[in-house]
Amino acid sequence: MSLWSADSLRIALAPGEAALLNSRGTRVLATHERSAASLLPLLDEALADPAWHSRRIEVVLSQHFVRHVLTPPPGKALRRKEETALVTASLREIYGDEAGNWKVQVLSQPPQYGLVGAAVDAAFAQQLDALLARHGFRDVTIRPLASVAAHRLPKTFQGWWVLAEPGWLSLFGMTDGVWQHLAGLPADAGWVAALPELIEREAAWTTLPEQLDVWIQAFGVGAVSTPGGGDRRWQVLPHDSQTYGALALAGF
């Protein structure tokens, strides 16, 4: 009888924690280190257990480990390699030569709008790929939390999207089906109260319509109240307020 299961396995990686989840249960691995690479030895040991073997595996990366960028509008349709080059160049402008060591994914948009790029450390991505291959995983998907969580937004979403997890906020602005602004920044326990000011500050850098609705999507931060003040309409998407840390990223 094969030890391999037809069930899928989801792994979530966040600063100091890795969570594994399949139909048979969950496991959380912890370390005092905060880097993504520090989670790999823990994951290597855990995946030696046949209980986690699966034909399909999805790895969700905390936004702490991801850097996003919105490029200038290219003005014309680009080939895939040209899109990647434009995203990499835009990342370099913000983060310097360090961006040259990152693995990039690109979300295409109409040429009159910028491309959306997501980047992770290339060395970490290679080590993770090698680790999963060593344990026999072949059908592997590795994605940032934002690319997975976006599927929970309404199909006709328009407004500001705040993606919250412990210690980090990702902020995206969309109109007419196009992402037109994004930002990522550290967050403390008072992030909800600070949201109205944060949204106004970011909006000042955009040409987005005024008073767009704000949708808050939270993972692992407990209960979230609606911010007070301002003229915007705030909406908190349903979330599990009892699950914290990496397990919240794995279990949605």
pLDDT in tens, 1-41: 233 345 799 999 999 999 999 988 999 999 999 999 999 99
Each residue of 155-193: pLDDT tens digit?
889 999 999 999 999 999 999 999 999 999 999 999 999
Looking at per-residue pLDDT, the higher value among 205 and 251 belongs to: 205
- What is the Cα–Cα distance from 171 to 231, expressed in whole angstroms? 19
Per DSSP, the three-state class of 198 is: helix
Diameter of the chain by CA atoms?
62
**pLDDT > 70 fraction of the chain, expressed in percent and rounded:** 96
Name the average pLDDT for the chain: 93
pLDDT for the residue 5: 44
Residue 55 banded pLDDT, cuts 50, 70, 90: confident
pLDDT for the residue 155: 87
Which of 10, 7, 18 has the alpha carbon at shortest distance from 57?
10
pLDDT for the residue 94: 95
Q: What is the pTM of this model?
A: 0.93
User: At residue 216, does pLDDT exceed 90?
Assistant: yes
pLDDT for the residue 228: 77
Count other Cβ atoms within 10 Å, centred on residue 89. 14
pLDDT for the residue 4: 37
Each residue of 129-147: pLDDT tens digit?
999 999 999 899 999 999 9
Q: Name the phi and psi angles at 240, rounded to 5.
A: -85, 110
pLDDT for the residue 7: 76
For the chain, give the number of residues. 252
Q: Letter for the amino acid at 34?
A: R
Residue position matching structure tokens 């491309």: 115
